[in-house]
Amino acid sequence: MENKKVAIFPASGKLGGSLMKYILKLIPAHDVVLIARYLSKIPVSYTVAGAIARYADYDDPKSLEDVFSQVNSLFLISYPTFQHEHRTKAHRVAIDCAHKSGVKHIFYSSLAFADRSDNSQSVALVMQAHLDTEKYLQELASKDPSFSYTSIREGLYSESFPMYTAFFNLKFPTSEILIPHDGHAPGLAWAKLDELGEASALLLARFYAAPGRFSEKNQVLLLSGVREWSLEETARALGQVVGKEVLIRQISVDEYVAQPNVESSLTRDGKKMAKEWASVYDAIRNGEASVVTPLLRDILGREPEDFETTIRAMAGV
Per-residue pLDDT of 246-262, as tens digits, reads: 999 999 999 999 999 99
**pLDDT > 90 in the chain, percent:** 93
Domains observed in the chain: 6-157+189-223 (3.40.50.720), 160-186+226-290+305-315 (3.90.25)
Q: What are phi and psi of 216, to 5 degrees?
A: -100, 25
Contact 7, 73 (CB under 8 A): yes
Q: By three-state DSSP, how is residue 265 classified?
A: helix
Where does residue 1 rank: exposed (0-12), middle (13-18), buried (19+ CB within 10 A)?
exposed
Can you list the alpha helix ranges (DSSP code H) found in 83-124? 84-100
Contact 241, 316 (CB under 8 A): no
pLDDT at 266 over 80: yes
pLDDT at 81 over 90: no
Q: How far, in Å, CA of 64 to CA of 54, rounded?
A: 10
Per-residue pLDDT of 16-58, as tens digits, reads: 999 999 999 999 999 999 999 999 999 999 999 999 999 999 9
Q: How far, in Å, CA of 295 to CA of 177, rounded?
A: 32
Return the exposure string of 120-137: e unless at least 16 CB atoms fall within 10 Å of the residue's CB, then b. eebbbbbbbbbbbbbebb
DSSP calls for 21-62: HHHHHHS-GGGEEEEESSGGGS-HHHHHTT-EEEE-BTTBHH
Region class of 269: left (phi > 0), else alpha (psi between -120 and 50), else beta: left
pLDDT at 82 over 90: no
pLDDT at 302 over 80: yes
Where does residue 96 rank: exposed (0-12), middle (13-18), buried (19+ CB within 10 A)?
middle
Per-residue pLDDT of 206-217, as tens digits, reads: 999 999 999 999
Q: How confident is the model at residue 2 (pLDDT cuts 50, 70, 90)?
A: low
Contact 223, 300 (CB under 8 A): no
Q: How far, in Å, CA of 252 to CA of 74, rounded?
A: 42
